[in-house]
Amino acid sequence: MTSEQDIKKIREMLEFLVKQKIAERISKLNETERKIYELTGEKGHTEMFKTLKVAPNTVSKVWQKLESEGVLVKEGKGYRKVV
């Protein structure tokens, strides 16, 4: 049987691997996409496109793209980072 300590260790290793993979993917984004990712969870859609001076659909498209790649998770009307 797996102990709580084993489960904790497995969780930590998985989280490390996920963070590593996400960092790899984020490093390949252009500047606007990276800023949108960084502001996700901190600013809403309207505030984000006004702050970054991009079209509203730019934010939506980047969010959808990053969700399809497993970097973001849709939560209600917005998105949040996986880790």
Q: What is the rounded CA–CA span in Å between residue 49 and residue 36? A: 9
Q: Domain 4-81 is in which class?
A: mainly alpha
Q: Yes or no: say if 71 and 37 are a contact pair by the CB < 8 Å rule.
A: yes
Q: Taking 80 as the threshold, does the pLDDT of residue 2 lie above it?
A: no
What are 10-59's pLDDT values in tens digits?
999 999 999 999 999 999 999 999 999 999 999 999 999 999 999 999 99
Give the predicted TM-score (pTM) of the model: 0.83
Q: Sketch the domain layout of the chain as residue ranges.
A: 4-81
